[in-house]
Amino acid sequence: MWIAEAREVQCDRAKGTAITLSELGQPPFPESLDVDALLASGWRPHAFRQFILKIHSRCDLACRHCYVYEMADQGWKAQPRRMSETVVDHVAHRIGEHAMAHGLTEVDVILHGGEPLLAGPDFIAYAVRAIRRQMDTGSRVNVSIQTNGLQLDDTFLQLFERLGIHVGVSMDGYAEAHDRHRLFRDGRGSHAQVAESVRRISKGRYHELFSGLLCTIDVRNDPLRTFDALLAFDPPAIDFLLPHGNWSTPPPFRDPGSPATPYADWLIPIFDRWYGSSGTHTEIRLFTEILRLLSGRSSRSESIGLSPALLAVIETDGSIEQSDILKSAYHGAAATPLHVLRDPFDAALRLPSLVARQIGVDALSPTCRKCDIVAACGGGLYAHRYEENSGFFNPSVYCPDLYALVRHIHRIFAEDVVRMRGNS
């Protein structure tokens, strides 16, 4: 459903490189996507079910691997520090309007930043109550917050307990691993303070609020030691994130021209420990999603698989954006012309840049569509496919790593299924 003869880009899996096969003068993908033709064919967009609110645009850390402050898009500099109550009121109205239009009985709201706790407890309470008031009776608003943990004291935890807000904390493992990147502006590490906050929420009365830990991978850190350090806090889930990068700005230690698989090599020992342990109750979301896909179910994450993207981002000033991870690609990659003061969320559902993240296999490069693990990999995270000449019509820059990881998990899983059948 693209404009005829769109630029063809291919990934040589053995080399892990993006190769432009033809230069036809067409706009890069997804600008070349013909949304009218898709709609005429009977395709319909999927409603948003997740809303990320950037309630504060600044941070009290200076993390070296942050895609908001350290990568291509520097739009945060023009954002107000905190979302206003006026913008919150319009966000609440737009979410309620969208839910009613699409018959949604449940939505997820994620409070984000910057560092969202810098917005303060009173503002967070105002925002959550405003959104819940706008939903129909019987509709549910699940609220969570993603924080670096520095401000996570009893005042916030008591508020989150009253409002039923779940908390995810960003933490990269043991002290040396965490303090490679998650630093104060004066260069001091933040591990000690973050660990204290995580202990506060992971023990006692607040544990039911704890949604898990988010760890950005650095392959210089020992994988099993990192895993054990995170498990020590008894998190319900761990998200291991590949550091953001693409073909034009490769992530650390990922040579786009190399068949080496440093990130798969880092993750596989953790998978083997996790999958083989009967005593570990912590979910590792990347592994869980791959296993779901290998067993024929759909993915619940845009980082893997072919499920449509269902999230919208509302910036601090009220601008409606796509996934803010796209800010790692180029300046303005996440932007849309829409704003909550004048536009419904439905207006975003016809934008080529959003539609491209909802049409599954039809948005993938020719190589991805021919690949034997396409149903599980799904081309990887959309932002990781970017190349400045061809846009997002590429495999992931992590193609060799994803292939090696999925194949390893498939082999272990298949052996397990055969063994279980043999014992039945």
- Residue-wise pLDDT tens digits, 35-66: 999 999 999 999 999 999 999 999 999 999 99
Most confident among 64-73, 135-144, 379-388 (mean pLDDT) = 379-388
Q: How confident is the model at residue 4 (pLDDT cuts 50, 70, 90)?
A: very low
Residue 424 lies in a domain: no
pLDDT per residue over 281-329, tens digit each? 899 999 999 999 999 998 888 889 999 999 999 999 999 999 999 999 9
Residue 233 lies in a domain: yes
Residue 415 lies in a domain: no
Q: What's the pTM value of the predicted model, to 2 decimals?
A: 0.91
Indicate if 296 and 372 belong to the same structural domain: no
In total, how many domains does the chain have? 2
Pairing status of strand 311-314 against strand 319-321:
antiparallel
Indicate if 135 and 25 belong to the same structural domain: no
Residue 421 lies in a domain: no
Residue 309's contacts (CB-CB under 8 Å, 6 or more residues apart) are 302, 322, 323, 354, 357, 358, 382
Indicate if 68 and 116 belong to the same structural domain: yes
Domain of 185, in residue numbers: 50-355
Indicate if 30 and 75 belong to the same structural domain: no
Selection from 210, 216, 248, 220 nearest residue 61 by Cα: 216
CA distances from 396 to 28, 99, 229, 408 (A): 16, 33, 29, 18
Of the listed ranges 1-10, 87-96, 304-313, the least confidently predicted one is: 1-10
Indicate if 151 and 20 belong to the same structural domain: no
Indicate if 211 and 310 belong to the same structural domain: yes
Indicate if 278 and 395 belong to the same structural domain: no
CB half-sphere exposure, 162, CA atoms < 13 A: 13
Indicate if 371 and 223 belong to the same structural domain: no
Indicate if 349 and 291 belong to the same structural domain: yes
CA distances from 316 to 98, 128, 363, 372 (A): 20, 15, 30, 42
pLDDT per residue over 175-193, tens digit each? 999 999 999 999 999 999 9
pLDDT per residue over 204-248, tens digit each? 899 999 999 999 999 999 999 999 999 999 999 999 999 999 999
Residue 242 lies in a domain: yes
Indicate if 35 and 54 belong to the same structural domain: no
Question: Which residue did the predictor score with more confidence, 421 or 86?
Answer: 86
Q: What is the per-residue burial (b if ≥16 Cβ within 10 Å, else e) of 346-385?
A: eebbebbbbbbbbbeeebbbebbeebebbbbbbbbbbbbb
Residue 413 lies in a domain: no
Q: Rounded to the nearest 10 degrees, what angle do helices 223-231 and 262-275 cross at?
A: 50
Indicate if 203 and 284 belong to the same structural domain: yes
What is the arithmetic mean of pLDDT over 85-90? 98
Indicate if 139 and 220 belong to the same structural domain: yes
